[in-house]
C-alpha cells in the first residue's frame, strides 16, 4: 500500500501533544523514551512500516555496522545492554534491526508511533508558540516541541541516472532494499557506485550472480573487517569495563583509547600504527593514528599503506591501479570496512568499468551504456549514496517565525547552533543535525548525547514555566564560523564527499559535520550556563 492509499485507509490523527518526534530509528526511539519518562505526551511518526531507521531500510546483502557492535549499542539501559548478546564483532543488518525491535518491545515504544506516515510539514505559530505538524496520512497534530530524529542518511539517492526508467530488467537502490531479498543467481548484474554500500554488497552479489560489472567513478579506501564471532570472554570484558567506558564517553572522551594529541610518531611508530589498519579494527584503528586527518605526511603514509595492500590483493596489476584511490586523503571520505571487497575483483565473474575513462551516457532498456559501449544487465544495483544530513529535513516544509521556510534559510547551506537548533525555529530540535559531530562519530553515542541534551532542555523550559527555547542568531553565527574554522584545519574539505554535499547535483557545498574536539563538554557547558546562546521565552 502506498502512503497515499494508507492515508485513505486510516482515520487521521488530530489533537494536541507536548511533543512530536519524527523518525523511529535509534534517535527517535530513545527520544520518545526520554520524553515519556519526563511525563510528556508524545506523538511519533515514521515513514517506514516499523522501527529501526537505517537498519529497517538498508537490507542489501552484506549490510553491517562498521563500528564494533559492542560500541554501536545504546548505553542508556542496563537492562538492554545486559539482556542483549551480539553474535559478531560487526553485526549484520538483520541482527541490528532485531536489536532495535527488541528495545521497542521492551519499552513498548511502538505505542507512540504512527508508521507508514510521512511528516510533510511543520509550521510554527508565533502567538501560541506551538508547532502544527501535518502528515501524508492527513494527521494534524499540534505540539509545543518538535524533534526531528529524521536521520543523516535516510534519503537514498534513487535511480536518477538518465534513462533509468527505461530499464526493462530489475533495479534496486541499496537504501530501499526489498524485504523479500533479491535473487541474483545466474543473473548479469551491474553495480553502480563504490561507496560503503557497494563495497559491502559486492562480494555477496558476486558469489551468486553469473556476472557482475562494477561501475566505479571514484576508487575508495576500504579496510578489512576481519569479522569474527564474539567470544564470551570479549563480551564479559566489555561489561566489566563498561562503567569506565560510560564515564569516559559521558565526560566527552571518545570512548576508545586515543593517542596524545601532540604525539608526532617517528617512522617506526607510524609503521606500527599503519599495520593496525589491516588488523580488523577499521575506523577504530584510523582513530589511533595521531592527526590522520590533519597531517598530510601522516595521511599520505596511511594512503600508501592501503594502496600497497590493494596491489598485494588484486592479482591483475592494471586492475589494481584502477582500484587505488589517489585523489583524496584517507578518511576525508568515510573509510569503508569490508569483507573481501578487493579480493572479489580476482573472481572471473567480476569486472570493473572505470567511469573516469568511460563515463556512463545512459541507462538503456537492456543495460548500462558508457562512452565505450553497452554493458548488458538483468539487474542494476544503484549504490549511489544519500542526500545526506539535510535531505530528510529539506523534504519537510518546515516554517519557523514569520513563516520563514527552513529551506530558504538554508539555501546557502545549513546553519545551526551546536547542530541542535536553528535561530528562528523555536522549540524545533534536530538530533545529530548539521554542525554536530554526527556522522564523524559512533552515531549511537552522538544520538544519546543529543537526545539527553534535548530532553534536559525541554525539562528546563518547563521548569521555568516558559514556552519556548530558541537559538540566538549571534550564537548560531559564531558556531557556524567555528565549525568552518575547525573543518579548515583538516584535510576533510579536500574530498568531494557527501560531508560537503558534493554528491548531490546543485546542493550547496558546505562542510556539514563538526570536527572540533570536546563537543559533548561544550554542549553540557552551554546547558550548565543557563543555556548560553539560547533565548528562553
Ligand atoms: P535513521 O536510522 O536514519 O532513522 C530516521 C528515520 O526517520 C527513518 O526511518 C526515516 O524513515 C524517518 N523519517 C525521515 N523523514 C521522515 C518524515 N518526513 N516523516 C516520517 N519519517 C521520516 N553509523 C555508525 O555510527 N556506525 C555504523 O556502523 C553505521 N553503519 C551504517 C550503515 C548504513 C548502511 C547506513 C546507511 C548508515 C550507517 N550508519 C552508521 C549511520 C546510521 O544512519 C546511524 O548510525 C543511525 O542508525 C541513525 O539513526 P537515526 O535514528 O538518527 O536515523
Ligand atoms: O554512498 P556513498 P553509500 N554515477 O555516497 C557513486 C554509511 N554506510 O551508500 O565517489 C556513478 O559513500 C559515488 O561516486 P563518487 C557510511 O557513512 C555505512 O555507499 O561520488 N557513480 C560513490 O562511489 C557511508 O559513507 C556502511 O565519485 C555514482 C557511490 O556512488 C554512507 O552511509 C554501509 C553516481 C556512493 O557512495 C554512504 O554510503 C553503507 C553516478 N551518477 C553505508 N552518483 C557501513 O559499512 C554517485 N556515484 C557501516
Of the CA atoms within 13 Å of residue 414, those in its CB half-sphere come to 29
What does the alpha-carbon distance between residue 202 and residue 381 come to, in Å, rounded to a whole number?
Answer: 10
What does the alpha-carbon distance between residue 377 and residue 41 come to, in Å, rounded to a whole number?
Answer: 51
Decide if pLDDT at 1 tops 80: no
What does the alpha-carbon distance between residue 362 and residue 91 come to, in Å, rounded to a whole number?
Answer: 37
What does the alpha-carbon distance between residue 511 and residue 500 come to, in Å, rounded to a whole number?
Answer: 4
What does the alpha-carbon distance between residue 282 and residue 199 come to, in Å, rounded to a whole number?
Answer: 14
Distance between Cα 28 and ligand 1 center (Å): 10
Decide if pLDDT at 254 tops 80: no
Of the CA atoms within 13 Å of residue 28, those in its CB half-sphere come to 35
- C-alpha cell at position 535: 533565548
Decide if pLDDT at 522 tops 80: yes
Residue of 76, 63, 37, 112 whose CA lies nearest to 444 = 76
Helix, strand or coil for residue 232?
A: helix
Query: Among the atoms of ligand 1, which is closest to the Cα of residue 151?
Result: 53
Q: Average of pLDDT values for 272-299?
A: 94
- Name the pLDDT band for 273 (thresholds 50, 70, 90): very high
Which ligand places an atom closest to the C-alpha of 437? 1
- C-alpha cell at position 490: 583538516
The string of pLDDT tens digits covering residues 64-82 is: 999 999 999 999 999 999 9
Decide if pLDDT at 5 tops 60: no
Distance between Cα 197 and ligand 2 center (Å): 6
* Contacting residues for 513 by C-beta, under 8 A, at least 6 apart: 389, 434, 435, 436, 437, 438, 439, 440, 499
Decide if pLDDT at 204 tops 90: yes
Would you give the end-to-end CA distance of the chain in angstroms?
Answer: 44
Q: Is the CB of 62 under 6 A from ligand 1?
A: no
The alpha carbon of residue 135 and the mean position of all alpha carbons in its chain are separated, in whole angstroms, by 24
Which ligand places an atom closest to the C-alpha of 149? 1
- Name the pLDDT band for 159 (thresholds 50, 70, 90): confident
The alpha carbon of residue 421 and the mean position of all alpha carbons in its chain are separated, in whole angstroms, by 19
Using the structure block, give the residue that is written with the C-alpha cell 523518525.
Answer: 23
The string of pLDDT tens digits covering residues 78-136 is: 999 999 999 999 999 999 999 999 999 999 999 999 999 999 999 999 999 999 999 99
Residue among 163, 330, 333, 385 to mutate when testing ligand 2 (max atoms within 8 A of CB): 385
Helix, strand or coil for residue 355?
A: coil
- Angle formed by the axes of helices 443-463 and 519-528, to 10°? 0
Q: Average of pLDDT values for 137-151?
A: 98
The pLDDT score that the predictor gives to residue 315 is 98
Q: Whose CA is nearest to atom 11 of ligand 1?
A: 47
Residue among 95, 162, 197 to mutate when testing ligand 2 (max atoms within 8 A of CB): 197
Decide if pLDDT at 436 tops 70: yes
What does the alpha-carbon distance between residue 510 and residue 476 come to, in Å, rounded to a whole number?
Answer: 15
The pLDDT score that the predictor gives to residue 11 is 87
What does the alpha-carbon distance between residue 72 and residue 442 come to, in Å, rounded to a whole number?
Answer: 7
Q: Is the CB of 66 under 6 A from ligand 2?
A: yes
What does the alpha-carbon distance between residue 194 and residue 93 come to, in Å, rounded to a whole number?
Answer: 19
The pLDDT score that the predictor gives to residue 9 is 65
What does the alpha-carbon distance between residue 358 and residue 373 come to, in Å, rounded to a whole number?
Answer: 9
Query: Among the atoms of ligand 1, which is closest to the Cα of residue 26?
Result: 51
Residue among 59, 154, 191, 217 to mutate when testing ligand 2 (max atoms within 8 A of CB): 217
Q: Phi and psi (nearest 5°) for 331?
A: 80, -5
The pLDDT score that the predictor gives to residue 355 is 98
Helix, strand or coil for residue 459?
A: helix
CB 86 within 8 A of CB 235: yes
CB 45 within 8 A of CB 37: no
What does the alpha-carbon distance between residue 370 and residue 363 come to, in Å, rounded to a whole number?
Answer: 9
| Residue 523 CB-density burial (10 A; 0-12 exposed, 13-18 middle, 19+ buried) | buried
Q: Whose CA is nearest to atom 32 of ligand 1?
A: 65
- Angle formed by the axes of helices 443-463 and 26-37, to 10°? 30
What does the alpha-carbon distance between residue 183 and residue 187 come to, in Å, rounded to a whole number?
Answer: 8
Lowest mean pLDDT among 9-18, 218-227, 228-237, 346-355: 9-18
DSSP string, 120-170: EEEEEETTTTEEEEEETT--EEEEEEEEE---SS-SB--S-STTGGG--SE
Using the structure block, give the residue that is written with the C-alpha cell 525491535.
Answer: 101
Helix, strand or coil for residue 429?
A: strand
Rounded to two decimals, the pTM is 0.97
Helices (H), ranges, 384-531: 391-394, 406-409, 443-463, 473-488, 519-528
- Name the pLDDT band for 156 (thresholds 50, 70, 90): very high
| Residue 185 CB-density burial (10 A; 0-12 exposed, 13-18 middle, 19+ buried) | exposed
- C-alpha cell at position 355: 567511469
* Contacting residues for 281 by C-beta, under 8 A, at least 6 apart: 68
Q: Average of pLDDT values for 463-491?
A: 97
Of the CA atoms within 13 Å of residue 466, those in its CB half-sphere come to 17
Q: Is the CB of 344 under 6 A from ligand 1?
A: no
Average pLDDT, the chain: 96
Q: Is the CB of 270 under 6 A from ligand 2?
A: no
The pLDDT score that the predictor gives to residue 49 is 97
The pLDDT score that the predictor gives to residue 278 is 97
Decide if pLDDT at 255 tops 90: no
Q: Average of pLDDT values for 16-25?
A: 98
- DSSP code at position 231: P
- C-alpha cell at position 165: 526508467
- DSSP code at position 175: G
The pLDDT score that the predictor gives to residue 8 is 54
The alpha carbon of residue 509 and the mean position of all alpha carbons in its chain are separated, in whole angstroms, by 18
Q: What is the CA radius of gyration of the chain?
A: 23
- C-alpha cell at position 448: 544519546
The pLDDT score that the predictor gives to residue 246 is 93
CB 293 within 8 A of CB 332: yes
The pLDDT score that the predictor gives to residue 2 is 52
Q: Across the strands, what pairs with 430?
A: 148
The pLDDT score that the predictor gives to residue 10 is 77
Residue of 532, 350, 451 whose CA lies nearest to 148 = 451
Q: Is the CB of 154 under 6 A from ligand 1?
A: yes
Which ligand places an atom closest to the C-alpha of 59? 1
Q: Average of pLDDT values for 129-158?
A: 97
Decide if pLDDT at 387 tops 80: yes
What does the alpha-carbon distance between residue 463 and residue 269 come to, in Å, rounded to a whole number?
Answer: 53
Domains of the chain: 3-155+388-536 (3.50.50.60), 164-382 (no CATH)
- Name the pLDDT band for 6 (thresholds 50, 70, 90): low
Q: Average of pLDDT values for 261-266?
A: 88
Amino acid at each position: 500500500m502506498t502512503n497515499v492509499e494508507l492515508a485513505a485507509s486510516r482515520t487521521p490523527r488530530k489533537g494536541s501533544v507536548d511533543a512530536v518526534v519524527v523518525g523511529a530509528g535509534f534517535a527517535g526511539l530513545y527520544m520518545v523514551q526520554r520524553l515519556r519518562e519526563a511525563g510528556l505526551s508524545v506523538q511519533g511518526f515514521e515513514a517506514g512500516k516499523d522501527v529501526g531507521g537505517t537498519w529497517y531500510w538498508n537490507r542489501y546483502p552484506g549490510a553491517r555496522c562498521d563500528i564494533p557492535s559492542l560500541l554501536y549499542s545504546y548505553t542508556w539501559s542496563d537492562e538492554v545492554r545486559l539482556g542483549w548478546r551480539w553474535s559478531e564483532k560487526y553485526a549484520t543488518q538483520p541482527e541490528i534491526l532485531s536489536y532495535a525491535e527488541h528495545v521497542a518491545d521492551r519499552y513498548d515504544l511502538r505505542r507512540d508511533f504512527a508508521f507508514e506516515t510521512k511528516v510533510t510539514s511543520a509550521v510554527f505559530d508565533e502567538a501560541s508558540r506551538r508547532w502544527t505538524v501535518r502528515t501524508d496520512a492527513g494527521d494534524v497534530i499540534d505540539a509545543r516541541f518538535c524533534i526531528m530524529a529524521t536521520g543523516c542518511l535516510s534519503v537514498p539517492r534513487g535511480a536518477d541516472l538518465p534513462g533509468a526508467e527505461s530499464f526493462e530488467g530489475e533495479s534496486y537502490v541499496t537504501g530501499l532494499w526489498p524485504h523479500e531479498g533479491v535473487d541474483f543467481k545466474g543473473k548479469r548484474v551491474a553495480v553502480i557506485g563504490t561507496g560503503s554500500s557497494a563495497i559491502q554488497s559486492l562480494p555477496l552479489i558476486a558469489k551468486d550472480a553469473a556476472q557482475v560489472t562494477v561501475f566505479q567513478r571514484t576508487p575508495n579506501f576500504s579496510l578489512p573487517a576481519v569479522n569474527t564471532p564474539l567470544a564470551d570472554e570479549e563480551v564479559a570484558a566489555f561489561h566489566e569495563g563498561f562503567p569506565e567506558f560510560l564515564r569516559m564517553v559521558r565526560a566527552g572522551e571518545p570512548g576508545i583509547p586515543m593517542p596524545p594529541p601532540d604525539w608526532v610518531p617517528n617512522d617506526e611508530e607510524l609503521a606500527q600504527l599503519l599495520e593496525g589498519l589491516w588488523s580488523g579494527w577499521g575506523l577504530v584503528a584510523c582513530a589511533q593514528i595521531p592527526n590522520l586527518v590533519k597531517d598530510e605526511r601522516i595521511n599520505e603514509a596511511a594512503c600508501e599503506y592501503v594502496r600497497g595492500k590493494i596491489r598485494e590483493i588484486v592479482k591483475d596489476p592494471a586492475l589494481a591501479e584502477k582500484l587505488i584511490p589517489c585523489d583524496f586523503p584517507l578518511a576525508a571520505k568515510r573509510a569503508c570496512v569490508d569483507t573481501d571487497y578487493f579480493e572479489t575483483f580476482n573472481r572471473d565473474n567480476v569486472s570493473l568499468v572505470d567511469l573516469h575513462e568511460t563515463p556512463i551516457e545512459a541507462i538503456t532498456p537492456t543495460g548500462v551504456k558508457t562512452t565505450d559501449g553497452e554493458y548488458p544487465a538483468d539487474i542494476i544495483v544503484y549504490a549511489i549514496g544519500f542526500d545526506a544530513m539535510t535531505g530528510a529535513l529539506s523534504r519537510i516544509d518546515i516554517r519557523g517565525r514569520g513563516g520563514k521556510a527552513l529551506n530558504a534559510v538554508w539555501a546557502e547551506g545549513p546553519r545551526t547552533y551546536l547542530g541542535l537548533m536553528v535561530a528562528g525555529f523555536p522549540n524545533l530540535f534536530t538530533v545529530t543535525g548539521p554542525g554536530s559531530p554526527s556522522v564523524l562519530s559512533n552515531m549511537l553515542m552522538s544520538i544519546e548525547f543529543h537526545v539527553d541534551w534535548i530532553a534536559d532542555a525541554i525539562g528546563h523550559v518547563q521548569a521555568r514555566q516558559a514556552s519556548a527555547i530558541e537559538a540566538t542568531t549571534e550564537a548560531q553565527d559564531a558556531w557556524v564560523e567555528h565549525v568552518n574554522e575547525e573543518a579548515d584545519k583538516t584535510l576533510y574539505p579536500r574530498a568531494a564527499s557527501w560531508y560537503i554535499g558534493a554528491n548531490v547535483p546543485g546542493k550547496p557545498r558546505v562542510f556539514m559535520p563538526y570536527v572540533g574536539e570536546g563537543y559533548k563538554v561544550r554542549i553540557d557547558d552551554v546547558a550548565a550556563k543557563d543555556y548560553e546562546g539560547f533565548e528562553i521565552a
